[in-house]
Amino acid sequence: MSITLITKDPPACVASTDSGSACGLIWNWTSNAWLAESSEFLVKPLRILLIIVLCLVARNLITRAITRMTRANGEGKSPGILRPLKEKVPNVLGDPASIVGERRRQRSRALGSVLRSLVTGVVFTIMFMLILAEFNINLGPLLASAGIAGLAIGFGAQALVKDIISGMFMLLEDQYGVGDVVDLGEASGTVEAVGLRVTTIRDAKGSLWYVRNGEIIRVGNMSQGWAMVIIDVPIAPSESVEEAGAALSGVLNAMTDEDRWSRVMLAEPEMLGVESMTAMATNLRVSVKTDPDSQWALGRELRGRISEALRAAGIASGLTDAQFQNRSGGNAPVK
């Protein structure tokens, strides 16, 4: 007499699932009920492990691609993520490589950090939801609760979210960067660091300002493209405008002939003529187009030479409206 150990009756897992499940497949292959029922306990951990491995591999590949895009190469070129964007770093006369490189590194580092964090959050969220689905957990109430919690956190941290979003747009639009001289309203000076939440500025007195990006309403950048030096020279109403103009033109021509100043001038200096007339002075205007960050040194040199040229020509200087108001103690006349 023989005893059959393998039962021919299908297990309960086959009846409750389709034939394509792990239980059904093992039952069809082996006709062993114990192996078929045990497959559910073996396959599910393997599925969860496979989900974790695939998500980690996907995250690693994507973050490595982002890092490669945001890394500047050895030739000093822009990182790949910045190449589609317009570079506003002035290159008419060549900027210091350290400033340009730091500007690009700051932008690419901040953008890369945001993208990597975003990818990590999305991948881990998908992984968490897939693992819960393996345990047959209803994700509907969980997603609803997460949405309510996210809404509450968003209201509580709206200032932080505003700062980060503003910082993202500022970096993408390249409104300013490291080394730029900017006016942000309450604070103005040289940008030392650019972050997603805070921009750091060093003013002329040496104070370091930390400005939240969400609080920046308007930006005046004095280091992009080119700058203008505009000087109004007051002379006494009794003096000859032609003689004063000749003296100013001589100063402009002399500075144009000097290599030190001609290198920072982007166009020929212009003697624009009479800008305004008052009872105290006739104002002559001079303008020079220069590369950014050189307008202050050029303006100081030009004012000093103009003052010496007028004194040497015996041309009396007129009073400005502010000087007249300080002397008379009254209001300046209308121009």
For residue range 256-305, list pLDDT tens digits in order. Answer: 888 888 888 888 888 888 888 888 888 999 999 988 878 888 899 999 99
Indicate the pLDDT class of residue 62, thresholds 50, 70 and 90: very high
Cα 215–Cα 221–Cα 224 angle in degrees, nearest 5: 145
What pLDDT does residue 111 have? 78
pLDDT at 136: 78
In the chain, domain spans:
70-221, 227-328
pLDDT at residue 268 in the model: 86
Exposure of 85 in the CB half-sphere (CA atoms within 13 A): 20
The string of pLDDT tens digits covering residues 142-191 is 778 777 877 777 777 788 888 888 888 888 787 888 888 899 888 889 88
Q: Cα separation of 303 and 315, whole Å?
A: 15
CATH class of the domain comprising 227-328: alpha beta
Sequential DSSP letters for 92-126:
SS---HHHHHHHHHHHHHHHHHHHHHHHHHHHHHH
Q: Which of 269, 198, 203 is nearest to 231 (CA)?
A: 269
What is the overall mean pLDDT for the chain? 76
At 93, the pLDDT band (50, 70, 90 cuts) reads: very low
- Cα distance between residue 135 and residue 125, in whole Å: 16
Whether the pLDDT of residue 324 is over 80: the answer is no
**Higher pLDDT, residue 78 or 212:** 212
Q: Which residue has the higher pLDDT, 22 or 305?
A: 305
What's the pTM? 0.57
Helix or strand (DSSP H, E) at 303 = helix 295-312
